[in-house]
């Protein structure tokens, strides 16, 4: 089916995307895709360089007549989020993404598609390989590990780039032009407990929460989607006095809204637990039915496990998770409909004497981010958890007087006869980090329409990619002349 993808228009983009998607490229495991990009650059006999952290830089001279234009940096990240449906058998370490066409959409079979940011990478590859596309001098920057820490952008040294304009191809609506983004920080809370023996005469059940939409924990955080970790905690809280928790395994990556959670519980009052379970499950299903039509909450009897958490530790765990804020914390007072500060309770693991909870806190305002971090950290520490903060990255402050913004707005209006939406987003883009070492870069972000990023429902619009490609080609023709 991937051969069919290569015949989509624009072929030069979709062919590169299909080739890229044949290469496993999980965050922090980008060795194969780095080599793929090096081989690509060298096959074109272009100057190709890998920096000390693994970012790939490929340089291409201006086409004839464009030498007097400013050098541009075209930038996308190589890694992709690896998420799959619970019933999908797929090895991200060994298999390429299995894609198919569904109307106007390119999708993947039960996994993330990798259009975020693979379509941006494929676009830059198409420009680098072209022989008839007008463009100024290009520095193509392919960063690593954007999805789980932005360590590629953080590790990029000052002085490597000579370009004056940065085109970041990592926005997910084709009518939007990004001029700012949120910063973020990872919160990791851990706590130990001494497991106790489960009563052999007790009954045991597996509780499953699944079928939620999930999505991007920045771009989709305001949509009211269910968080599987918070919903599971609500269920366990309702059953608390009649159960002992043996295990919890919920969520996945920090930047993905949790779609699934499983818990293993033990009880000596099976009838009461079943009655209470179906009562709270109905309440949740009724509440979320308008937006989470695929939500399933199931109870299945299973063998009794060997150990459980003590009641005291269980009480603390459930109270703490209930306390930790999830979702939008504050909307921006300056920009309409922009989430300013949020938190995603991304991962909850309880097993073998250890509790581990992962969060990702975002904000476009540094003081607002710190305020929410203090709020969350206080809740964890009151419960006796050890808290570590890591992976902090800055936001990108909008510049309404940006020269490249003016170029993109004019080109968009000329091509499509309507005004684009110029906005900041609540996702973390690499622009904020790159701007630290290259403060003079005039930065902008745009891209084709991609829905459901960071979830197995991820899909890329074919018609939007065609529109976006026209936009890219016209932008390249209109890069300002050098000062």
Q: What are phi and psi of 231, to 5 degrees?
A: -70, -40
> Distance between CA atoms of 2 and 402, rounded to whole angstroms?
40
> Of these residues, 146, 170, 340, 457, which one is catalytic?
146
Q: For this structure, is 146 an active site residue? A: yes
| Distance from the Cα of residue 87 to its chain's centroid | 22
> Distance between CA atoms of 129 and 11, rounded to whole angstroms?
13
> Distance between CA atoms of 315 and 95, rounded to whole angstroms?
42
CA atoms within 13 A on the CB side of 474: 16
The helix-helix angle for 270-288 and 228-239 (nearest 10°) equals 140
DSSP 410-437: HHHHHHHSS--EEEE-SS--THHHHHHH
> Distance between CA atoms of 163 and 177, rounded to whole angstroms?
20
State how far the alpha carbon of 408 is from the alpha carbons of 19, 167, 176, in Å: 29, 10, 10
**Burial class of residue 440 (count of CB atoms within 10 Å of its CB; 0-12, 13-18, 19+):** exposed
Q: For this structure, is 286 an active site residue? A: no
Structure tokens at 305: 């496990």
Cβ neighbours around 39 below 10 Å, total: 11
Could you tell me if 308 and 245 are in contact, meaning their C-beta atoms sit under 8 angstroms apart? Answer: yes
The string over 442-466, giving b where at least 16 C-beta atoms fall within 10 Å of a residue's C-beta and e elsewhere, is bbbbbbbbbbbbbbbbbbbbbebbb
> Distance between CA atoms of 34 and 141, rounded to whole angstroms?
12
What DSSP element (H or E) covers 469?
A: helix 462-477
Report helix, strand or coil for 376: helix
> Distance between CA atoms of 106 and 114, rounded to whole angstroms?
11
> Of these residues, 79, 186, 313, 442, which one is catalytic?
79
Residues in the chain: 483
Could you tell me if 82 and 111 are in contact, meaning their C-beta atoms sit under 8 angstroms apart? Answer: yes
Question: Which residues face 209 on adjacent strands?
Answer: 261, 297
Catalytic residues: 79, 146
């Amino acid at each position: 089916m991937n051969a069919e993808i290569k015949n989509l228009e624009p072929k030069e983009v979709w062919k590169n995307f299909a080739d890229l998607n044949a290469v496993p490229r999980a965050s922090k495991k980008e060795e194969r895709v780095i080599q793929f990009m090096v081989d690509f650059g060298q096959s074109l006999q272009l100057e190709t360089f890998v920096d000390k952290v693994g970012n790939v830089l490929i340089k291409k001279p201006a086409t004839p007549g464009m030498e007097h234009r400013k050098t541009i940096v075209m930038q996308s990240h190589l890694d992709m989020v690896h998420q799959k449906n619970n019933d999908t058998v797929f090895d991200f370490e060994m298999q390429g993404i299995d894609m198919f066409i569904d109307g106007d959409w390119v999708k993947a079979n039960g996994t993330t598609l990798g259009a975020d940011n693979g379509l941006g990478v494929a676009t830059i590859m198409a420009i680098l390989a072209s022989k008839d596309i007008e463009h100024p001098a290009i520095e193509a920057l392919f960063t690593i590990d954007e999805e789980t820490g932005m360590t590629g952008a953080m590790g990029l040294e000052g002085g490597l780039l000579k370009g004056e304009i940065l085109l970041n191809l990592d926005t997910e609506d084709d009518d939007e032009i990004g001029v700012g983004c949120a910063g973020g920080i990872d919160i990791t809370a851990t706590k130990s407990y001494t497991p106790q023996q489960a009563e052999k005469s007790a009954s045991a059940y597996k509780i499953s929460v699944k079928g939620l939409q999930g999505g991007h924990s920045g771009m989709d955080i305001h949509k009211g989607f269910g968080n599987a970790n918070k919903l599971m905690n609500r269920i366990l809280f309702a059953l608390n006095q009649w159960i002992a928790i043996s295990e919890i395994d919920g969520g996945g990556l920090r930047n993905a809204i949790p779609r699934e959670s499983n818990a293993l519980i033990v009880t000596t009052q099976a009838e009461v637990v079943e009655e209470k379970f179906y009562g709270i499950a109905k309440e949740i299903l009724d509440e979320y039915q308008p937006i989470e039509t695929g939500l399933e909450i199931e109870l299945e009897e299973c063998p009794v496990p060997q150990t459980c958490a003590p009641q005291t530790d269980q009480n603390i765990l459930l109270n703490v998770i209930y306390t930790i804020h999830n979702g939008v914390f504050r909307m921006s007072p300056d920009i309409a409909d922009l989430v300013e500060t949020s938190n995603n309770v991304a991962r909850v693991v309880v097993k073998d004497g250890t509790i581990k909870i992962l969060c990702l806190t975002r904000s476009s305002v540094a003081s607002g981010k710190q305020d929410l971090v203090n709020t969350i950290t206080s809740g964890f520490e009151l419960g006796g958890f050890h808290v570590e903060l890591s992976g902090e990255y800055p936001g990108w402050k909008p510049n309404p007087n940006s020269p490249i913004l003016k170029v993109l707005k004019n080109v968009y209006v000329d091509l499509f006869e309507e005004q684009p939406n110029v906005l900041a987003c609540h996702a973390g883009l690499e622009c904020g980090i790159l701007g630290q070492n290259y403060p003079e870069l005039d930065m902008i972000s745009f891209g084709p329409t991609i829905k459901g990023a960071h979830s197995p429902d991820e899909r890329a619009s074919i018609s939007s990619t065609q529109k976006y490609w026209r936009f890219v080609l016209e932008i390249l023709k209109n890069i300002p002349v050098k000062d």
